[in-house]
Structure 1
Amino acid sequence: MSTAPVTIVGAGMAGLTCAIHLHRANIPFRLVDDADAVGGRVRTDTVEGFTLDRGFQVLLTAYPECQDHLDYGALNLKPFYDGALVRTHGRFHRIADPFRHPFDAPRTLFAPVGTLADKLRVARLRGALTSQSLNEIFSAPEQSTRQVLATRWGFSDLMINRFFRPFFGGVFFDTELEASSRLFEFLFKMFAQGDTAVPAQGMQAIPEQMASTLPADQLHLNTRVAAIEDAHTLRMDDGTTLDASAVVIATDAPSARTLLQDEAIPAKQRATTCLYYRAAESPLDEPILALNGDQDGLLNNVAVMSDVAPSYAPEGETLISAVVVGDPVEDDASLERTVRRELIDWFGLPAGGWSHLKTYRIPHALPDQTTPAVRHNPDAVRHHGAVYVCGDYLRTASINDAMATGRLAAEAVRADQSVPSA
């Protein structure tokens, strides 16, 4: 076995998890990333005292990998309400998880968001998926989410379009609901079994907590890999080379495809756009997601992040997140004007006085998971020879499976180098 360290390219959730497991196994490693901080797509900025995640992001506390790797108490997680406000025909209607908010069940039953039978089907769906194992979910026949909602679970078009389309369309960044039914059923189970939350100091607190468990001298930021010369040599952007006992590519799919010159790695990505505003007061006054239940306009969902986590805004101020699925063709100024008009329509004239803080366009927010897409093959992390890959594009587009593939890559390296389990 080479005495050179395993080199992990990419310090996002997959790369950090891989590094943690190599470190636990006493396997020398180095972790390189061309960004100025860890996290990959899970990043947070501070703008005028506000905490802005780079795009609307949440943590599902039921994720098994997160439970194994993260200290939730130290993250000081702040949960969302278990449900949503669905806006249709100019009014907001509450859809609540009746098992967690039984007093809101009557409002949910009579909300014009699907039929009464649809509301009962939600309870049946919840019961079925919470009782299924992950293996059962990932071995079920794969359809599109829209198909499985209509055929396997029997929901009406009204319920699909007014609730599932904006809610899960905002999760998948796919409002046509073409994403795999396996992804949908896995995420529905996770939503039902835990909280939807953000760390008090922003989503980047998650990768920072992970990085804090690693030797600082093995983390190399602002370091760009230009090419993989072979399984044991990387050429850097400055022309130097690095020796490696193995290489783990832990980047997003487009970057992995380029570095490995492998057209089999999926190129299609889902985009999202997030606009942040400061306001004098909250238009919702509770930590709940507001959804566009009508198939019009650009806005998909709105959340008052300072209602969820007061630390996201300076004292006495309000932070609002407005999400548009995809990457609109308008320039930023035109897009902001359009979104503001829609916010005024949703929340009234005070929205006209909100101050725009920042717009994030994220073209590679998630891998596209249009069927067939979701497979749980542990050998998928082995690319060729001593080159490995990890990332959410190998399994489900989630923090959980970014971390899972990082763990699997480390386990494959350990097995291939015949290193005993720690």
Structure 2
Amino acid sequence: MNKQDYKIHIVGAGISGLVAATVLEQHGYSLVLIEASDRVGGRVKTDIINGYQLDHGFQVLLTEYPAAQKYLDYKSLELQDFLPGASIFKNGKQEIIGDPLRDASLLFSTLFASVGTVTDKLKILKLNTRLKKKTIEEIFSDKEQTTLSYLTELDFSSSMINDFFTPFFSGIFLENKLETSSRMFEFVYKMFGEGSAALPKGGIEEIPKQLLHQLKGTTIKYNTAVSSISDNKILLADGQELESDFIIIATEASSLIPNLKNQAIEWQSCDTLYFETESRTIQKPLIGLIPDQNAVINNIFYHTSLKTAINAGKELLSVTVVDNLGLSDKALLDQVQKELRELCGITSTTFIKHYTIPKSLPKLSELHYEISPSETRLTETIYLAGDIQLNGSLNAAMIAGEKAALGVLENLQGIFK
């Protein structure tokens, strides 16, 4: 049987499914990608509205991600780097802290900021140094505890934890109690410390678009919902049945396979609201943090502080809400605008779009960095991909897609160990 004769299907054209397709193509196989929506990307999407680029949620690429370096062409993405720091809004003031070793312009603001103590700032430098020496493998084999208990054990002051670590990492983990595994904290902190946070000039969806354009022998079925999957068969929502030699499920599998019904993943949710403003209160490309525990806003960012491919001429502001307190859309919008005025001094905002994202990040325990190809195999013909197999990150989505593809190849060729 020739390679081209095999029927291989990937369900889900997010980052993980696209990488799985890339690996299979590299080994000479043709395949079919089945996607429920009208375009690739999964959770990594950008809309053009009112002349602005609106990402589905505030997302960044950490340039140090090993899998991203392997599968993406950074130059053609025209990555725009954030400064390695944050602007903190507290008590009617804005204070900037950051890593002066990586950007000297942050030195004086960091030294004189009232956020944390001098001891805290020395501990941050010490933590940076320690995590640079710690390998990713060591991080993910270390004991797991909550991020909050980890930071407490390192003896950071309550003010440093409340004013910086909690709002900054709540925006990454999408939960505001820092219950996420210390493994994820160390990994993300290491990635921030060794590379940059960046956005493609054309928005976050440029990442899946680039992966798609690299595919040559893949057929994509858009707007095609899958109802169920069994060995060698895919039942579509319209009743059509597809025969398949191998199936990679690059989306949540629990709703597609009967015996996985009780293994549904829990998800972190968030809301992102976009506004047009006349000017910027944060002049540099820095994330703005709101450490007020009674506020609904977690962080803000002016996307127009970076170069963008499309710009309607004013400033684009995104607001991330980790916990919307069950407010209606109208009540949440009113509260966000009130907090922008009172906490950030942002008085003139024109509302553009509100994204409610119920499945932003998977809630996972026992986080892992790697998975072997054989571990992605659910049955002889079904393989599982997606970041839910490892940890909630773009890097994990890529690794899981790669390993699922290698699992199929292992079965086909018997050449991978």
Query: What is the TM-score of this pair, normalised by structure 1?
Result: 0.94
When the two chains are superposed, the root-mean-square deviation of aligned CA atoms in Å is: 1.7
Partner deviation per Cα, 1:253-294 (whole Å, 9 max, x = no partner): 3xx211123146452100010000011222222211010122
Q: Secondary structure at the match of 1:286?
A: coil
Q: Secondary structure at the match of 1:287?
A: coil
Residue range with higher mean Cα deviation, 256-265 or 52-61: 256-265
CA contact (8 A) 1:137 1:182 kept: yes
Q: Which residue of 1 aligns with 2:351?
A: 356
Q: Secondary structure at the match of 1:248?
A: strand
How far did 1:156 drift?
Answer: 1.9
Query: CA 1:377–1:217 in structure 2 vs 1: closer, same or farther (change >3 Å)?
Result: closer
Q: Which residue of 2 aligns with 1:93?
A: 95
* 1:187 is the counterpart of 2:205: no
How far did 1:358 drift?
Answer: 0.2
Q: Secondary structure at the match of 1:201?
A: coil
How far did 1:107 drift?
Answer: 2.5
Match of 1:333 among 320, 330, 335: 330
Q: Which residue of 2 aligns with 1:390?
A: 385
Partner deviation per Cα, 1:141-177 (whole Å, 9 max, x = no partner): 11111111111x3212221111110001100001100
Q: Secondary structure at the match of 1:218?
A: strand
Query: CA 1:377–1:70 in structure 2 vs 1: closer, same or farther (change >3 Å)?
Result: closer
How far did 1:104 drift?
Answer: 2.4
- Aligned mates of 1:409, 1:266 — CA distance in 2: 20
- Aligned mates of 1:356, 1:103 — CA distance in 2: 33
CA contact (8 A) 1:5 1:27 kept: no
Instruction: Please list, as runs of the form range in 1=range in 2, the aligned pairs for 1:279-318 lying within 5 A after superposition.
Output: 279-314=277-312, 316-318=313-315
- Aligned mates of 2:201, 2:257 — CA distance in 1: 38
CA contact (8 A) 2:226 2:235 kept: yes
Q: Secondary structure at the match of 1:22?
A: helix
Q: Which residue of 2 aligns with 1:32?
A: 34
Match of 1:272 among 270, 273, 276: 270
Q: Secondary structure at the match of 1:18?
A: helix
Match of 2:118 among 116, 121, 129: 116
Instruction: Please list, as runs of the form range in 1=range in 2, the aligned pairs for 1:123-202 lying within 5 A after superposition.
Output: 123-151=125-153, 153-202=154-203
Q: Secondary structure at the match of 2:413?
A: coil
How far did 1:385 drift?
Answer: 2.1
Moved over 4 A (4+): none
- Aligned mates of 2:7, 2:367 — CA distance in 1: 33
Q: Secondary structure at the match of 2:255?
A: helix
How far did 1:226 drift?
Answer: 0.9
* 1:342 is the counterpart of 2:339: yes
How far did 1:308 drift?
Answer: 1.8
Identity %: 35
CA contact (8 A) 2:30 2:218 kept: no
CA contact (8 A) 1:327 1:362 kept: no
Query: CA 1:34–1:123 in structure 2 vs 1: closer, same or farther (change >3 Å)?
Result: same
- Aligned mates of 2:235, 2:45 — CA distance in 1: 27
Q: Secondary structure at the match of 1:417?
A: helix
How far did 1:13 drift?
Answer: 0.5
Stretches of structure 1 lacking an aligned partner (at least 5 in a row): none
How far did 1:182 drift?
Answer: 0.6
How far did 1:86 drift?
Answer: 1.3
How far did 1:27 drift?
Answer: 2.1
CA contact (8 A) 2:31 2:217 kept: no
**Amino acid across the alignment from 2:237:** D
How far did 1:352 drift?
Answer: 3.7
CA contact (8 A) 1:291 1:300 kept: yes
- Aligned mates of 2:401, 2:262 — CA distance in 1: 20
- Aligned mates of 2:288, 2:134 — CA distance in 1: 29
Instruction: Please list, as runs of the form range in 1=range in 2, the aligned pairs for 1:175-254 lying within 5 A after superposition.
Output: 175-215=176-216, 218-228=219-229, 230-251=230-251, 253=252
Query: CA 1:224–1:394 in structure 2 vs 1: closer, same or farther (change >3 Å)?
Result: same
Q: Secondary structure at the match of 1:330?
A: coil
- Aligned mates of 1:264, 1:21 — CA distance in 2: 31
**Amino acid across the alignment from 2:239:** G
Query: CA 1:373–1:326 in structure 2 vs 1: closer, same or farther (change >3 Å)?
Result: farther
Q: Secondary structure at the match of 2:256?
A: helix
CA contact (8 A) 1:118 1:155 kept: yes
Query: What is the TM-score of this pair, normalised by structure 2?
Result: 0.95
How far did 1:216 drift?
Answer: 6.7
Q: Secondary structure at the match of 1:14?
A: helix
Q: Secondary structure at the match of 1:242?
A: strand
How far did 1:327 drift?
Answer: 4.4
CA contact (8 A) 2:83 2:103 kept: no
Q: Which residue of 2 aligns with 1:367?
A: 362
Query: CA 1:71–1:377 in structure 2 vs 1: closer, same or farther (change >3 Å)?
Result: closer
- Aligned mates of 1:312, 1:277 — CA distance in 2: 15
**Amino acid across the alignment from 2:307:** A
**Amino acid across the alignment from 1:88:** K
* 1:260 is the counterpart of 2:257: yes
CA contact (8 A) 1:202 1:312 kept: no
